[in-house]
Amino acid sequence: MPDKHVSDIENWHNYQIQSRREIIALLRSIGEKNQLLRLLINGEADVAVTSILDVDVDEEEVIIDCAVSRDQNQRIISARRLGFETTLDKIRILFWCDRVYEAEYAGRPALSFPIPDSLIRLQRRDLYRVETPLTNPVRCVITLPDELGGVQNFPLTDISGGGIAITDEKMVLDNTIGRRYENCRIDLKDVGTVVVTLEVRGSMEQKLLNGKVNRRIGCQFVNLSRQMSALVQKFITKLERERNARLNGLA
């Protein structure tokens, strides 16, 4: 389980890399491009800045620079469960380890830790919401009790790798934070249909120009499968491609 510094990421497990070859390649790229690493010793309360000096496959270890402060180096070595965060080609990379050890590199003091078994790679499109079309909108089908109308569909206003926002024009949905709706179906047009549990994370009422009031509800995906996540990301990429084409006068 990741540390607190990644716990705010929606469905972090969908972005987890476990391929040893890919992990080594990413770590080496971070070192070769001289990308700085934030080393979280005690969460945000104690942070050091370091860099990857080498990834030694034979010794199964990653070698990093020491911190500037001797006291901080000692806290790093004494700590349990350290977190690392950096970016590579505008992609956020996070990983963690249980222990860091004293080491030597090119005749100078350094630190080392075992090559991680997994890391998290968050592409830029995973971090923000993309607006969905107003004409011929994407719709989410939610099953309600019979007294509330039974099966109903709600238009989406935006979508991200972690959730959606929908418009509840009739205000029939329970917008209590934490309320879950099971087996919701989101028709992503030509991409496919996503079946997922939605959890309400917030809502706001909107007054339209005609005086009518409707409700916008933000929902988080709960335990979205890798297959469903792939469909969502494919759809987001499709929306971005169509938007760029419009901006460039190609559509």
Torsions phi, psi for 249 (to 5 deg): 70, 25
Per-residue confidence at 187, pLDDT binned at 50, 70, 90?
A: very high
Domain boundaries, the chain: 4-122, 130-247
Residue 143 has pLDDT above 50, yes or no: yes
130-247 architecture in CATH?
A: Beta Barrel (2.40)
Whether 130-247 and 4-122 are alike in CATH topology: the answer is: no
Q: Where are the beta strands (DSSP E) in the chain?
A: 16-17, 37-40, 47-50, 52-56, 61-64, 82-88, 91-97, 101-105, 108-114, 119-122, 130-131, 139-143, 151-159, 163-168, 180-187, 193-207, 213-222
Q: Which CATH class is domain 4-122?
A: mainly beta
The tens digit of pLDDT for each residue in 4-63 reads 444 445 455 567 888 899 999 999 999 999 899 989 887 656 888 899 999 999 999 999
Length of the chain: 251
Query: Which of the given ranges, 50-54, 127-131, 159-163, has the highest pLDDT on average?
Result: 50-54
Tokens encoding 2: 């990741």
Mean predicted lDDT score pLDDT of the chain = 85
The pLDDT value recorded for residue 8 is 45
Provide the Cα torsion 95, 100, 102, 106; round to 10°. -10
The lowest-confidence range among 24-28, 63-67, 235-239 is 235-239
If one counts every other C-beta atom within 10 angstroms of the C-beta of residue 64, the result is: 24
